């Protein structure tokens, strides 16, 4: 019989939900965009339920549109389905089991009544994230623009970040600073061999030894963390595993791993990242060319599979040491390009700018963002001024978002237990996470995002030619500019000692200019904007000698 748990994750507890909806004994209830779940128990026994049985639930809305949602094995003889309805009204559903003779799992029918909700959380109010029609940025399901400001918590589903106190502390800090995305790995971690004790959570590892089957208890603990992110308004960008785990599991087991992730978390407002460093072989591989080729083909096949089983059509990407497009045999599997452009402080600037601008002109057209660059403090460098530079240079060059990272946070060092060496034998550093998360760069990228949110940032177009001098491949330390014709110019000044002219200002438009300090958010009037006959304005000196943002708005 179905287990009538009827609890809603993503912020609405069962008691709260029941109190807000009328009682009805023969139906289920949900709120629009919230994940709701229930379970089915099988009286028929299976030797290996995870491997022998697949259960799907087909939902049909009032207009007749169907979605086929995989259920996940919850342990013993129980399977659970999670669903987030995209609209209000009455849904019908029925179960489809790979063992059609099992009457407990196959052919079960019911109805789901969906009510509207007035939550202040944008992930409920506006719905999950998708790629916008312009193929340059992201938006919510209702068309509200969504700005990707990501943070890197690769190992945060492990017990290295204690639940609940430490995890919630970090989530609250990132939400307060304006972050919107957390990049997090689903248990198959980087920088460690399989079944390394550093990768366990309170319930062990995501898979049993020899990859015999999934460990539902691991994911029960991971659920708590995922739900906390969403409750804080943070979108989980879920990395299925680091690329080198694919030869260890094989393609078929990795598909089952991904089916489990989609079943567990597809009802949440998530983004899928197929793998981290998708074609990078294991550090100690004895045949790296063979492994890299296998991984490129394998992750392409898995990407296509994920797209077929995800009824919610969440955006899909893959992380790599260069770009997503060249990591797969078929880049059309991807919805956006996630770059990684280096950890070498200022020496990573040319590669960063070239990769962003290069990807934006490639086909197929898709949003581009830097998913990993210059963790703050890595190699005792890449401090806050580099964080500001990478953000502004990428965004004003046309990137659809940006991801920050702090050394010590991605691997979750603690003072008592530093992460220690990677398989290659060296450590990336021992800064504790509770020090790393307070490094000034995260606050300053929050300031940068807050500045952008004052304008229709999704309409920005990169126009380096609107300022002189501007960055070139001979000098990346000159100005970066983007704007909206006749309305807005945003200029990043990495070297404010230079005399900068703003060009191609439209005739008949009255402008006002403001200098913004990117490290504090303080603003200073830049004085009158006297546009000459050629449509140019000579920018005055900045208040102090450092990097600045200059904003010109239509008055």
- pLDDT per residue over 391-439, tens digit each? 999 999 999 999 999 999 999 999 999 999 999 999 999 999 999 999 9
Compute the distance between CA of residue 15 and CA of residue 20 in angstroms, rounded to an integer: 9
Look up the CATH number of the domain holding residue 540: 2.60.40.1180
Confidence of residue 18 (pLDDT cuts 50, 70, 90): very low
* pLDDT the model gives residue 497: 73
Q: How many domains does the chain have?
A: 3
Q: Quick one: 300 and 436 in the same domain?
A: yes
Task: Specify the DSSP element, H or E, that contains 166.
Answer: helix 165-177
Pairwise pLDDT comparison (22 vs 553), residue with the higher score? 553
Summarize the confidence of residues 102-128 as an average pLDDT: 96
* pLDDT the model gives residue 495: 86
Q: Quick one: 107 and 135 in the same domain?
A: no
Compute the distance between CA of residue 21 and CA of residue 404 in angstroms, rounded to an integer: 41
Q: Are 154 and 124 in contact (CB under 8 A)?
A: no
Confidence of residue 313 (pLDDT cuts 50, 70, 90): very high
* pLDDT the model gives residue 22: 39
Q: Quick one: 181 and 109 in the same domain?
A: no
Summarize the confidence of residues 6-28 as an average pLDDT: 39
| CB burial readout 495-522, b (16+ within 10 A) else e | ebeeebbbbebeeebebebebbbbbeee
Single residue among 91, 119, 147 that ends a domain in this structure? 119
What's this model's pTM, rounded to 2 decimal places? 0.95
- Averaged confidence pLDDT in the chain: 94
Q: Quick one: 538 and 521 in the same domain?
A: yes
Q: Quick one: 455 and 470 in the same domain?
A: no
Confidence of residue 498 (pLDDT cuts 50, 70, 90): confident
Q: Quick one: 113 and 130 in the same domain?
A: no
Task: Determine which of 7-11, 349-353, 523-527 has the lowest per-residue pLDDT on average.
Answer: 7-11
Compute the distance between CA of residue 78 and CA of residue 2 in angstroms, rounded to an integer: 9
Single residue among 459, 489, 520 that ends a domain in this structure? 459
* pLDDT the model gives residue 9: 34
Look up the CATH number of the domain holding residue 360: 3.20.20.80
Summarize the confidence of residues 452-469 as an average pLDDT: 98
Summarize the confidence of residues 95-109 as an average pLDDT: 98
Look up the CATH number of the domain holding residue 91: 2.60.40.10
Residues 347, 351, 354, 355, CA torsion sign:
negative
Compute the distance between CA of residue 376 and CA of residue 494 in angstroms, rounded to an integer: 18
Compute the distance between CA of residue 310 and CA of residue 191 in angstroms, rounded to an integer: 29
pLDDT at residue 24 is higher than 60: no
* pLDDT the model gives residue 2: 31
* pLDDT the model gives residue 5: 31
Q: Which residues pair with 78 in a beta bridge?
A: 41, 75
Residues 282, 288, 290, 296, CA torsion sign:
positive
Summarize the confidence of residues 469-475 as an average pLDDT: 97
CB neighbourhood size of 209 (10 A) = 10
Q: Quick one: 539 and 447 in the same domain?
A: no
Q: Quick one: 411 and 538 in the same domain?
A: no
- Among candidates 14, 508, 73, which has minimal Cα distance to 257? 73
Single residue among 87, 119, 151 that ends a domain in this structure? 119
> Of all residues in the chain, what percent carry a pLDDT higher than 90?
93
* pLDDT the model gives residue 118: 85
Q: Quick one: 343 and 452 in the same domain?
A: yes
pLDDT at residue 523 is higher than 50: yes
Summarize the confidence of residues 537-541 as an average pLDDT: 95
Give the HSE-up count for residue 246: Cα atoms under 13 Å, Cβ half-sphere.
30
Strand order from edge to edge, sheet including 55-60: 28-31, 109-115, 89-97, 55-60, 66-70
Q: Which residues pair with 37 in a beta bridge?
A: 7, 82
Q: Quick one: 294 and 416 in the same domain?
A: yes
Give the angle subtended at the CA of 251 by the CAs of 267 and 209, to the nearest 5°: 85
Q: Quick one: 289 and 305 in the same domain?
A: yes
- pLDDT per residue over 256-266, tens digit each? 999 999 999 99
Compute the distance between CA of residue 115 and CA of residue 201 in angstroms, rounded to an integer: 36
Per the structure, the complete domain to which residue 448 belongs is given by 123-459
Q: Quick one: 246 and 132 in the same domain?
A: yes
* pLDDT the model gives residue 3: 30
């Amino acid at each position: 019989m179905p287990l009538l748990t009827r609890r809603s994750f993503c912020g609405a507890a069962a008691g709260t939900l029941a109190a807000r909806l009328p009682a009805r004994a023969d139906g289920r209830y949900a709120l629009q965009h919230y994940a709701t779940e229930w379970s089915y128990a099988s009286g028929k026994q299976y030797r290996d339920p995870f491997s022998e049985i697949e259960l799907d639930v087909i939902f049909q809305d009032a207009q007749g549109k169907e979605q086929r949602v995989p259920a996940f094995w919850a342990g013993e003889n129980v399977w659970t389905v999670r669903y987030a309805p995209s609209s209000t009204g009455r849904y019908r559903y029925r179960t489809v089991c790979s063992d059609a003779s099992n009457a407990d799992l196959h052919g079960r029918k019911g109805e789901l009544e969906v009510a509207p909700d007035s939550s202040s959380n944008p992930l409920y109010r506006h719905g999950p994230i998708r790629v916008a029609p312009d193929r340059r940025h992201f938006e919510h399901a209702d068309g509200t623009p969504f700005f990707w400001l990501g943070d890197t918590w690769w190992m945060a589903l492990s017990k290295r970040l204690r639940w609940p106190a430490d995890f919630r502390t970090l989530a609250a800090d990132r939400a307060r600073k304006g972050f919107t995305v957390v990049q997090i790995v689903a248990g198959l971690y980087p920088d460690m061999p399989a079944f390394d004790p550093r990768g366990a959570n309170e319930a062990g590892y995501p898979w049993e030894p020899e990859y015999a089957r999934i460990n539902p208890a691991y994911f029960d603990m991971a659920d708590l963390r995922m739900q906390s992110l969403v409750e804080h308004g943070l979108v989980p960008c879920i990395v299925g595993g680091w690329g080198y785990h694919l030869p260890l599991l094989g393609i078929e087991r990795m598909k089952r791993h991904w089916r489990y992730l989609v079943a567990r978390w597809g009802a949440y407002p998530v983004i899928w990242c197929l793998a981290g460093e998708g074609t990078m072989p294991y550090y100690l591989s004895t045949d790296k060319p063979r492994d890299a080729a296998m991984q490129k083909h394998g992750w392409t096949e898995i990407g296509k599979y994920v797209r077929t089983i995800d009824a919610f059509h969440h955006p899909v990407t893959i992380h790599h040491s260069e770009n997503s497009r060249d990591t797969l045999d078929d880049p059309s599997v991807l919805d956006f390009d996630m770059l990684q452009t280096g950890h070498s402080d200022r020496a990573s600037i040319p590669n960063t700018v070239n990769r962003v601008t290069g990807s934006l002109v490639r086909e197929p057209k898709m949003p581009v963002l830097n998913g990993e660059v210059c963790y703050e403090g890595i190699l005792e460098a890449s401090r806050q001024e580099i964080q500001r530079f990478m953000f502004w240079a990428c965004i004003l060059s046309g990137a659809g978002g940006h991801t920050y990272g702090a050394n010590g946070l991605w691997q979750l060092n603690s003072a008592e237990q530093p992460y220690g060496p990677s398989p290659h034998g060296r450590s990336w550093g021992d800064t504790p996470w509770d020090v790393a998360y307070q490094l000034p760069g995260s606050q300053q990228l929050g300031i940068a995002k807050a500045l952008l949110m004052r304008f229709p940032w999704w309409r920005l177009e990169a126009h380096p030619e609107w300022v002189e001098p501007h960055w070139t491949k001979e000098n990346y330390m000159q100005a970066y500019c983007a704007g909206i014709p006749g309305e807005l110019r945003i200029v990043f000044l990495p070297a404010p000692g230079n005399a900068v002219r703003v060009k191609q200002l439209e005739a008949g438009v009255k402008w006002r200019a403001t200098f913004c300090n990117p490290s504090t958010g303080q603003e200073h009037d830049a004085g009158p904007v006297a546009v000459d006959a050629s449509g140019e304005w000579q920018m005055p000196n900045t208040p102090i000698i450092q990097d600045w943002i200059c904003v010109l708005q239509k008055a």
